[in-house]
């Protein structure tokens, strides 16, 4: 569980629930409205691992957060033979993989937003992009292999990776334009779609994000650096990490699960 993220002065707080495969270091991330959703999200993740990888979660490593200690959660783990490993109080180093992942994600999110001058209200898009990139980057921990290759067992292509926040032109279908209109609209590239083979493109005129496959990228131009008039006042702030339990913004360790074998079949 990765702390709380303050999105606005209205104190809209969103929690991120992150899973790390101990073998491949592959990362999954979920957004929660409250910690009450932790158990239901874990059940979804558990089913995903069983169905997609024909594997069983053997160990769940976490801190001693109350969201993991409920009777329903613990009964579910016991029923499925999952060992619950928890770090000792005030010893985050016992869950070092998760702690380092927290810091790594935050560093990349901050870099993506600041380098592209993207308003921090788009932090969730930057976070999804950070996870997408980390899973595809070589890691010294994996002997310079990538989490993606280690988990799925086949090579990947980098030809569909583009600069976060850059200018992009999204093709307009014929039914969305007249004969005299431009055939594309200028947008900001904000990452990759999870459930579709497309790109997330922010339309400043409609102030909404759309998914499109037919996109042309200008990676040497950052959209928000060129269009300050499309950037409304933003009171968003990036998350802070602290070891103080009394602080408003907390850092919760991520969860780590361990697969039964080091090979995955598809």
242 is a domain residue:
no
Asked whether residue 185 falls in the same domain as residue 214, the answer is yes
Does 220 fall in a domain? yes
The CA–CA distances, whole Å, from 230 to 61, 200, 257 equal 43, 17, 42
Q: Are residues 151 and 31 in the same domain?
A: yes
- Same domain (yes/no): 151, 27: yes
* Statement to judge: residues 94 and 191 lie in one domain: no
128/207 same-domain check: no
Is 38 found in the same domain as 15?
yes
Residues 174 and 140 in one domain: no
- 212 in the same domain as 171: yes
Q: How many domains does the chain have?
A: 2
Structural domain includes residue 235: no
Separation CA 59–CA 81 (nearest Å): 9
Range of the domain at 96: 2-157+249-259
| Same domain, yes or no: 53 and 121 | yes
**Angstrom distance (rounded) from CA 263 to CA 266:** 10
Q: Report if residue 224 sits inside a domain.
A: yes
Flag whether 22 is in a domain: yes
Angle (CA) 49 36 89, round 5°: 85
Across the chain, which distance is largest between two alpha carbons, in Å?
Answer: 66
DSSP conformational letter for 89:
T
Q: Give domain status of residue 243, yes or no.
A: no
Give, for all 266 residues of the chain, the pLDDT tens digit: 555 444 433 334 468 889 999 999 999 999 888 888 899 999 999 999 999 999 999 999 988 777 888 899 999 999 999 999 988 777 777 778 888 898 999 999 999 999 999 999 999 999 999 999 999 999 998 999 999 999 999 989 899 999 999 999 999 888 777 777 788 999 999 999 999 999 999 999 989 999 999 999 999 999 999 877 555 544 344 444 333 333 333 334 344 444 444 444 44
> Are 42 and 20 in the same domain?
yes
């Amino acid at each position: 569980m990765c702390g709380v993220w303050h999105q606005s002065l209205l104190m809209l707080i969103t929690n991120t629930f992150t899973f790390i495969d101990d073998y491949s270091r592959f990362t999954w991330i979920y957004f929660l409205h409250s910690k009450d959703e932790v158990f239901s999200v874990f059940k979804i993740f558990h089913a995903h691992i069983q169905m997609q990888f024909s594997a069983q979660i053997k160990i769940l490593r976490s801190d001693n957060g109350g969201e993991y200690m409920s009777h329903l959660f613990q009964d579910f783990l016991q029923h499925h033979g999952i060992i619950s490993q928890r770090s000792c109080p005030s010893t985050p180093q016992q869950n070092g993989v998760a702690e380092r992942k927290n810091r790594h994600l935050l560093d990349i999110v901050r870099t993506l937003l600041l380098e592209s001058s993207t308003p921090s209200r788009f932090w969730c898009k930057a976070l999804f992009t950070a996870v997408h990139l980390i899973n595809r980057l070589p890691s010294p921990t994996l002997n310079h292999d990538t989490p993606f290759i280690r988990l799925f067992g086949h090579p990947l292509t980098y030809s569909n990776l583009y600069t976060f926040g850059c200018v992009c032109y999204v093709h307009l279908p014929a039914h969305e334009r007249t004969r005299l209109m431009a055939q594309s609209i200028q947008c900001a590239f904000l990452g990759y779609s999870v459930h579709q083979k497309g790109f997330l493109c922010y339309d400043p005129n409609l102030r909404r994000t759309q998914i499109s496959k037919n996109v042309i990228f200008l990676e040497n131009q950052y959209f928000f650096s060129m269009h300050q008039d499309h950037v409304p006042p933003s009171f968003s702030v990036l998350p802070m990490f602290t070891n103080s339990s009394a602080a408003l913004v907390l850092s919760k360790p991520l969860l780590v699960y361990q697969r039964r074998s080091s090979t995955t079949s598809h």
